[in-house]
Chain A
């Protein structure tokens, strides 16, 4: 029941938000997001890490087709629900910095999207999963499209087409699998779409080979993996900062989570067959993203490409099919979400003050804004994966997983840390150090409320870095379950 509450509360709040106009919507929107956070925190506190699915709820949604509104959380779902619940208030707070037109609609869409995200992370039925997958897409399309930059119409159009075409392939795959399942318990339908029934399918290897691509298409676009990434940098750049945070902080985790929950255990033989190819693509993405990031002049684009590179490593970890790799991906999803949202917020703070995101136009911010510098540095070191920060735990485990699978791939993937340091420190150096520019002469430091927004993120950077077991402990059971399903056949 708690899961249903987590699902319905944001959308209910989004509807209620229509009674508030303009700035008056800020407090209720933030309040709603904090209530959601409290619910998620309560779920985390009462969660029993030794049991698998909890807080389950099952309703016969379309009886004639055997489709159920089945939700529930295991450790992995819980981690991502927590991530969503932590980041949405932060993202809303960051939106208050800007004066958007029709603010109440903006916040309503963010909350609406939260329902979709929580739904994706908790769905236990294939069609519910697909449904929520698209529910998360519609609000972000409008967030990026209505409030975005000059090229927003073209860029978001591309984004929408890419993702929806990818997810239609996934739907086709699900429909195919659905017709391989047995009847429902009540006998009303000849087939059902429960996650457990998909796990229990024993499809022949050659079928799994092509079903793999149908399902993977949606995740590949969403994460995105090279070469399906071309929508990403443009969309990240054109979307308003809060939408970019939603996209990079939470939405791309839908793809990685999807792989872990809906791909590996469902078509294990297909995964086995394509494993090498996916790992190679992921590693190409790591290197490619990093090299392009080095050449970027736009802070937002640089972070976008860095994100591409980091996601590549997570994909590689997942497809290494090792416990280390999957655990690394789980914790790195949290870490990356925290870091990238923080980084985009700082990029946005700089842009609001100077009116530019161009690295060449910036410089010397350290002297004007020491607090901002410290925050930026912490988040940046977290992204670079310095020991004691959150990035280190994740990347260490991920690289360990890839290394276990194949030494050479592990070695090449390890380059990500070096290249990451190169482009991030280079950006830090040019933006924060060096002489002032005409843009940065009147630069002011972070305000109290901006700091209040960054503090939870920074706390998380160290918390995950110093006590990763709080989180690893949660996901361990689910990761083992997933791997058992994979190995079983």
Chain B
């Protein structure tokens, strides 16, 4: 709770920094704010508190996911430089919007009441709509923002509709009470059942859109491509982590009953298979790294969906831990990938694979960092991504979803193909005229990349630090 208050207040304070036109100060201040809130967040570890008449619950689950979200934001902020800092007069507003959207993300991981879910999603999304279009003079950015906004608004409507139907059927917005109402049907509940089921499905669709699960993923590649890379990284990490935490909470706390599972489990399984297929096969065909990363983020939504399918009825245990570890490993690797891609794209003005040619010679640090991140996303041992997949897959095998895991393993074999392509370009191809010069990297960025690589390897060697935390 402290983190929500702090972020809101400091976000407002940040706006005032903008009045002073002290752009130089903003980045260190942002990092200080995020680092401070991250520390404060972990003070809540081990206690369970309720706020606003039980609408928000802060427990280990929410603290852990808030930690991931804030950490991701902290290491991501250094990459805002160059794009945002150069000649941008409304810099403070962007940073404040970022902080506000983090408030939405934190609400998403700690809600206990469907209204808070809706509010969280909206706070997160509205900020993202603006940020997607923040490159005002770029048509692609405008297109991305419009697309994201129209689609997002539509699916928010779907979610709200579903929420209303669930309320109509159960008479409550509180997660545990919904679960109670479904498990102990009141007289006359039978006739309301279709309403509940449709409501559940519509909610699945609404959240599925936010985490870009197929078949509601269509916006992802286009929006990521047009959105400034910095904010695309934000979408594919923080929005996804918070979205999946919210998803898990919804399924575990509101719809654990067998008669509800009968509806969402097959739907979710089908979405999972489709997401894995579209994400991985789609990524193979891309020529732009940014679009590849967009499809890769779809495919990782698929792996996370496996953990949801295999959930065991609690906010702890194999499934929840799997999502926690996977989100962390995925976020860390993805931030590094987007960070390097952004730096290279800014300097070389190209986003295709060949733009990376010979990067190992001109910028060994960038090449190393992107390599670690690609290996992690591909799930190769020695990186966090391997243990992420390992935990998610074993949670699924434990619950008997062997077929699903086999399919996912085959899909991750496919993924090795497109994750190796940047590595091949960087290490095995020579530089040409456009790629001969070193890409400029600031100290903050180099530090962030080193930290991310170290984190990825640390998670890959000592997974016990995070695994089993919940």
* A contacts, CB < 8 Å to B: 60-65, 127, 130-131, 133-135, 138, 142, 145-146, 152-153, 156-157, 160-161, 164-165, 168, 171-172, 175-176, 178-179
| Contact stretch, chosen from B121-129, B204-212, B413-421 | B413-421
CB<8 Å pairs between A and B, sample of 24: A62-B387, A62-B463, A62-B467, A62-B468, A63-B464, A63-B468, A64-B467, A64-B468, A65-B467, A134-B386, A138-B380, A146-B428, A153-B429, A160-B416, A161-B416, A161-B417, A164-B380, A165-B413, A168-B412, A172-B406, A175-B393, A178-B394, A179-B397, A179-B398
User: In the complex, A145 Cα to B413 Cα: how many Å?
Assistant: 20
Binding site secondary structure of chain A = helix
Q: A165-B413, A172-B406 are in contact. Are A62 and B464 (CB under 8 A)?
A: yes
User: In the complex, A258 Cα to B335 Cα: how many Å?
Assistant: 37
In contact, B464 and A64 (Cβ under 8 angstroms): yes
In contact, A160 and B464 (Cβ under 8 angstroms): no
* Closest chain B residue, CB of each to CB of A144: B428
In contact, A164 and B416 (Cβ under 8 angstroms): yes
Shortest beta-carbon distance, A441 to chain B, in Å? 34
Contacts of B14 in A (CB 8 A): none
Q: A165-B413, A178-B394, A179-B398 are in contact. Are A61 and B464 (CB under 8 A)?
A: yes
* B contacts, CB < 8 Å to A: 321, 360, 375, 380-382, 386-387, 390-391, 393-394, 397-398, 402, 405-406, 409, 412-413, 416-417, 420, 424, 427-429, 463-464, 467-468
* Closest chain B residue, CB of each to CB of A160: B420
User: In the complex, A138 Cα to B368 Cα: how many Å?
Assistant: 13
In contact, B413 and A168 (Cβ under 8 angstroms): yes
User: In the complex, A108 Cα to B225 Cα: how many Å?
Assistant: 38
Tell me which of A153, A175, A178 contacts B428 (CB under 8 A): A153
User: In the complex, A147 Cα to B298 Cα: how many Å?
Assistant: 35
Contacts of A135 in B (CB 8 A): 381-382
In contact, A64 and B321 (Cβ under 8 angstroms): yes
In contact, B382 and A164 (Cβ under 8 angstroms): no
In contact, B416 and A175 (Cβ under 8 angstroms): no
User: In the complex, A126 Cα to B468 Cα: how many Å?
Assistant: 20
Contacts of A178 in B (CB 8 A): 394
Contacts of B405 in A (CB 8 A): 172, 175
Shortest beta-carbon distance, A408 to chain B, in Å? 38
Q: A130-B381, A135-B381, A172-B406 are in contact. Are A65 and B394 (CB under 8 A)?
A: yes
10 additional A-B residue pairs with CB within 8 Å, beyond A64-B321, A179-B394: A62-B467, A64-B468, A65-B394, A65-B467, A153-B424, A153-B429, A160-B416, A164-B380, A165-B416, A175-B394
In contact, B381 and A157 (Cβ under 8 angstroms): no
Contacts of A168 in B (CB 8 A): 409, 412-413
Tell me which of B380, B420, B467 contacts A157 (CB under 8 A): B420
Binding site secondary structure of chain B = helix
User: In the complex, A152 Cα to B464 Cα: how many Å?
Assistant: 37
User: In the complex, A299 Cα to B41 Cα: how many Å?
Assistant: 64
Q: A134-B380, A179-B398 are in contact. Are A157 and B464 (CB under 8 A)?
A: no
Contacts of A62 in B (CB 8 A): 387, 463-464, 467-468
In contact, A146 and B427 (Cβ under 8 angstroms): yes
The 10 closest A-B pairs by CB, nearest first: A64-B468, A134-B381, A153-B428, A62-B464, A131-B381, A146-B427, A165-B413, A153-B424, A145-B428, A62-B463
* Closest chain A residue, CB of each to CB of B396: A175
User: In the complex, A153 Cα to B420 Cα: how many Å?
Assistant: 10
Contacts of A179 in B (CB 8 A): 394, 397-398
User: In the complex, A145 Cα to B360 Cα: how many Å?
Assistant: 13
User: In the complex, A361 Cα to B464 Cα: how many Å?
Assistant: 58
In contact, A176 and B397 (Cβ under 8 angstroms): yes
Shortest beta-carbon distance, B325 to chain A, in Å? 10
Contacts of A127 in B (CB 8 A): 390
User: In the complex, A152 Cα to B423 Cα: how many Å?
Assistant: 13
Tell me which of A65, A134, A138, A142 contacts B427 (CB under 8 A): A142
Q: Which residue, B386, B393, B405, B424, has most C-beta atoms of chain A within 10 A?
A: B424
Shortest beta-carbon distance, B462 to chain A, in Å? 8
User: In the complex, A64 Cα to B387 Cα: how many Å?
Assistant: 13
In contact, A164 and B406 (Cβ under 8 angstroms): no
Q: A63-B464, A161-B416, A164-B380 are in contact. Are A145 and B427 (CB under 8 A)?
A: yes
Tell me which of B397, B420, B427 contacts A175 (CB under 8 A): B397
Contacts of B375 in A (CB 8 A): 138
User: In the complex, A60 Cα to B463 Cα: how many Å?
Assistant: 12
* Closest chain A residue, CB of each to CB of B371: A142
Shortest beta-carbon distance, A281 to chain B, in Å? 23
User: In the complex, A245 Cα to B62 Cα: how many Å?
Assistant: 52
Contacts of A171 in B (CB 8 A): 409
User: In the complex, A131 Cα to B386 Cα: how many Å?
Assistant: 9
* Closest chain A residue, CB of each to CB of B417: A161
Shortest beta-carbon distance, B75 to chain A, in Å? 23
User: In the complex, A176 Cα to B405 Cα: how many Å?
Assistant: 11
Shortest beta-carbon distance, A116 to chain B, in Å? 9
* Closest chain A residue, CB of each to CB of B321: A64
Shortest beta-carbon distance, A17 to chain B, in Å? 15
* Closest chain A residue, CB of each to CB of B402: A176
User: In the complex, A249 Cα to B333 Cα: how many Å?
Assistant: 35
Contacts of B397 in A (CB 8 A): 175-176, 179
Contacts of B428 in A (CB 8 A): 145-146, 152-153, 156
* Closest chain B residue, CB of each to CB of A131: B381
Contacts of A153 in B (CB 8 A): 424, 428-429
Contacts of A134 in B (CB 8 A): 380-382, 386
Contacts of A65 in B (CB 8 A): 391, 394, 467-468
Contacts of B398 in A (CB 8 A): 179
Shortest beta-carbon distance, B379 to chain A, in Å? 9
Shortest beta-carbon distance, B324 to chain A, in Å? 12
User: In the complex, A178 Cα to B405 Cα: how many Å?
Assistant: 15
* Closest chain B residue, CB of each to CB of A156: B428
User: In the complex, A275 Cα to B394 Cα: how many Å?
Assistant: 30
User: In the complex, A451 Cα to B129 Cα: how many Å?
Assistant: 70
Contacts of B381 in A (CB 8 A): 130-131, 133-135
Shortest beta-carbon distance, A461 to chain B, in Å? 36
Contacts of A172 in B (CB 8 A): 405-406, 409
Contacts of B416 in A (CB 8 A): 160-161, 164-165
Shortest beta-carbon distance, B12 to chain A, in Å? 41
